[in-house]
Amino acid sequence: MNYSSKRKVVVYTVFVLCALAGAVWLYGLWWHYYLVTHPRIAQAVPYSYEEELPFPGILLWNEFILTSPSHGRLQYAVEGYGGRVAQGDKIAILENNGSQQILRAPQTGYFIPGLDGLEGQVCYPNVWPGIEKIPNTPELSLFPQGKTVSKGDPIGKFLPMPQDLRIVGYADMTPALERRIDRGNVLLRRDKNTSLYQGEVRVAKKLGYRCKLYLTLPFFPINIVKKRSVSYLISTESYVGVAVPQSSIISREGKLGVFWVGGNYVRFKEVKGFPLSDHSFFIFDGLQPGNIILLRADHAREGRIELW
């Protein structure tokens, strides 16, 4: 092949490559235009959000142990975990060699015919200092009917009434919880299926991203003495709004927003909310259920689009 022929082949090859590159470039421009003018969309769906924080804690109450005045066999006048008695009420009968001695309540309160081994140890001065994990405490062990006792043996414990039931525990510190603490109360419940009730903040201590709380609870049922270590949920704030895909959120000039679709036009709309754990974003201000937005905010722009 002579030089002239080789030159024609090179020129032809370059021409073909340039034509192909131009075609690819034009197709890219068309495809980008198509994506911009025919974007994928998403719909804002109704969503309610409630911030709930685990709150493991230990219950505190005032108590003292009752002991037997002599040797004998006990027959309790209360059943189960005990009951509320008034001063002078019969709590047990102590039988010894055919004689009976009636044991009476020293004052008004709860008489519990059993112990858990922590009597006198679980009190505010012992559990508030430090940052130790809340221990898992043993359950209350009830004494059986007919228990034989000697003089000075424990027959149960007594909780004077009225008194406040208190709890010391830990929770993650969030802005919403900090606002509740500043107001002097927090909302708690045993689990998601129980009602909320209000606990009064007696003392609060910040521990970095966590806090230690000493609360007064608004109730004191007798069956709560079965176990001192408990786990509650603190409810700080609840919102009603919408959920959208995380990819539809963008920050523009320091403002969070979405590209809202109205008819065939798109415009940036500021919203307020926070991310959820499932790649969604919760919006409590700025959108309504059913609103249409662009799915990919990072590839979007304001202007006219073709949806259908």
Return the C-alpha torsion angle 249, 251, 256, 261, nearest 10.
-50
Quickly list DSSP for 146-165.
T-EE-TT-EEEEEEESS--E
DSSP SS3 for 32: helix
Sheet containing 99-104: which strands, arranged edge to edge? 99-104, 90-96, 72-76, 148-149
The yes-or-no verdict on residue 14 having pLDDT over 70 is no
- E strand residue ranges, 61-182: 64-67, 72-76, 83-85, 90-96, 99-104, 109-112, 114-115, 141-142, 148-149, 154-160, 165-172
Rounded Cα distance, 19 and 42, in Å:
39
Closest by Cα among 186, 241, 196 to 49: 241
Structure tokens at 111: 């008489």
The yes-or-no verdict on residue 30 having pLDDT over 60 is no
Q: What pLDDT, in 10s, does the model give residues 242-289?
A: 999 999 999 888 889 999 988 788 889 999 888 887 788 999 889 999
Query: Which DSSP symbol is given to 298?
Result: G
User: Could you tell me the pTM of the whole model?
Assistant: 0.70
Question: For position 302, what pLDDT does the model report?
Answer: 80
More confident residue, 18 or 187: 187
DSSP SS3 for 121: coil
Q: Choose the most confident range, by mean pLDDT, from 77-86, 223-232, 295-304.
A: 223-232
| Amino acid code (one letter) for 34 | Y
* 198: Cβ contacts below 8 Å, ≥ 6 apart: 185, 186, 187, 188, 218
Query: Could you tell me what percent of the chain has a pLDDT over 70?
Result: 86
The yes-or-no verdict on residue 2 having pLDDT over 60 is no
Domains of the chain: 62-162 (2.40.50.100)
Question: For position 199, what pLDDT does the model report?
Answer: 94
**198 class by beta-carbon count within 10 Å (0-12 exposed, 13-18 middle, 19+ buried):** middle
Question: For position 1, what pLDDT does the model report?
Answer: 55
Question: For position 12, what pLDDT does the model report?
Answer: 63
* 25: Cβ contacts below 8 Å, ≥ 6 apart: none
